[in-house]
A and B are shown apart, each in its own frame.
Chain A
Amino acid sequence: DAGITQSPRHKVTETGTPVTLRCHQTENHRYMYWYRQDPGHGLRLIHYSYGVKDTDKGEVSDGYSVSRSKTEDFLLTLESATSSQTSVYFCAISAGGDGYTFGSGTRLTVV
């Protein structure tokens, strides 16, 4: 599904290093979201955006920041990666009112 792409698909990084994950959409949707998926926790919202430069925190935002300078791109940054941030990260987009389309995910391992 070419409407939303995440990069990289896999990344291994060291504790304490900054990491940026990218989400790119071609659908011109207003809303974009970052979730993480962990065993026993399901999908938890990290941050979301409701427009260019308009972002807000989700339920697990500590240690993460986001930026959206263009409609099509939503970046998630781990300022200083920790082992607890080892997870699968999903980006999602929405035009509003009709559910989400998810990307294929980024598997991040912090060693």
Chain B
Amino acid sequence: DQQVKQNSPSLSVQEGRISILNCDYTNSMFDYFLWYKKYPAEGPTFLISISSIKDKNEDGRFTVFLNKSAKHLSLHIVPSQPGDSAVYFCAASVWGGSEKLVFGKGTKLTVNP
């Protein structure tokens, strides 16, 4: 029973274009969402987050959008760069709960020069 779903295992885009990574969740109690980026042979690193009181959060080239009614969030990367090539994990939790993050399976992004 997957509570956080990333239905695209991989995505390939051209350098300079927009990358859109999608994530769906089923648990309506989730109110805090995060994206992590992972390079090979390294641990995941925090990228950006959003709480359920917002519908958008921006940090430089990275923007996360949250649609609570659809239980859907997306990560936009504009413009995409070859260094963005990595696996991206979506994660969700209940704020102030046990602090456990539930992760999706990840999407491997490849940005082609």
A interface list, Cβ under 8 A from B: 31, 33, 35, 40-45, 48, 50, 56, 58, 90, 92, 94, 96-105
Chain A neighbourhood of B105, CB < 8 A: 40-42
Q: Which residues of A contact B104 (CB under 8 A)?
A: 42
The answer to whether B100 touches A58 (Cβ under 8 A) is yes
Interface residue SS majority, chain B: loop
Q: Which among A31, A41, A42 is the interface contact of B99 at CB below 8 angstroms?
A: A31
A100:B101 contact, CB within 8 angstroms:
yes
| Known contacts A43-B89, A97-B95, A99-B34; is-contact A105 B103 (Cβ 8 Å) | no
- Report A-chain residues with C-beta under 8 Å of the C-beta of B95: 97
Q: Smallest CB–CB gap between A6 and chain B, Å?
A: 8
**Smallest CB-CB separation from A59: which chain B residue?**
B102
Is B96 touching A48 in the complex (CB atoms < 8 A)?
Answer: no
Q: A99 with B46: in contact, given A41-B105, A42-B106 (CB under 8 Å)? A: yes
**Contact partner, B46, options A35, A41, A58, A100, Cβ 8 Å:** A100
Further 13 A-B residue pairs, CB within 8 A, beyond A42-B104, A50-B98, A50-B99: A41-B105, A42-B103, A45-B100, A48-B98, A48-B100, A92-B43, A97-B96, A100-B44, A100-B46, A102-B44, A104-B41, A105-B42, A105-B43
Name B77-99 residues within 8 Å CB distance of A. Answer: 89, 91, 95-96, 98-99
- A99: chain B residues at CB < 8 Å are 34, 46, 49, 91, 101
